[in-house]
Chain A
Amino acid sequence: KAGVTQTPRYLIKTRGQQVTLSCSPISGHRSVSWYQQTPGQGLQFLFEYFSETQRNKGNFPGRFSGRQFSNSRSEMNVSTLELGDSALYLCASSSPEGRVRSPLHFGNGTRLTVT
């Protein structure tokens, strides 16, 4: 099975711009989660989508948004970029087993640099 695929791998943007990141989950996985990883804050949860619906949301401002398509692929959008948004954005997919969490499979991430 192909793993989780994230595109692009690297992005350089300037303050005020917006950016869209893409994630293709493992085939058959319906849950997609997004995390922001920075050296100081570790892995911060952004949001999770399941069957095209946002099921959980972390404590990020409204500039961070996402969506999931019917084929489970997901996109994350960040508007009005700030310098502090520079980070590695990781997508992870899983196959939920009822109410118990199932293992996350991470992609290689998109490294966003805001100048």
Chain B
Amino acid sequence: GENVEQHPSTLSVQEGDSAVIKCTYSDSASNYFPWYKQELGKRPQLIIDIRSNVGEKKDQRIAVTLNKTAKHFSLHITETQPEDSAVYFCAASPFQKLVFGTGTRLLVSP
């Protein structure tokens, strides 16, 4: 079955810096790659997603890149702000099943 690895597990940056979180997946049938943000005590919320027919997608300060050949995808956050502090989860989906990475705790210091 699908296996998703996510790195780093913890990431500390200064406000205004960029943050990059990387994930690898194992199942070449995976065709959908979402990223979720979970603030403390709250539900995970989708922040951006990408499908396998696209290499890059941007939404304001957030971007995701996908390399199907290498089976990895990354989340890029530019100009980080304290409110970006949260746990971020990547996921990969072979058809209708969604498998999550173990999460990255991002801490943005003012």
Contact = CB atoms under 8 A, between A and B. Distances in A.
Contact of B96 (A43, A55, A108): A55
Main secondary structure of the interface of A (DSSP, over half): strand
Chain B: number of interface residues, binned into ranges: 20 to 34
A90 B98 CA distance: 14
B102 A90 contact: no
Nearest to B4: A42
B8 to A, nearest CB: 14
13 contacts: A42-B89, A42-B102, A43-B44, A43-B103, A45-B100, A48-B96, A90-B43, A96-B96, A101-B31, A101-B96, A103-B49, A106-B36, A108-B43
Contacts of B100: 35, 42-45
Interface of B: 31-32, 34, 36, 42-46, 49, 51, 89, 93, 95-103
A108 B93 CA distance: 22
A56 B46 contact: no
A16 B73 CA distance: 42
Main secondary structure of the interface of B (DSSP, over half): strand
B97 A42 contact: no
A9 B33 CA distance: 29
B43 A42 contact: no
A104 B33 CA distance: 12
A9 B49 CA distance: 28
A48 B44 CA distance: 17
Interface string A20-58: 000000000001010100000111110010100001100
A100 interface: yes
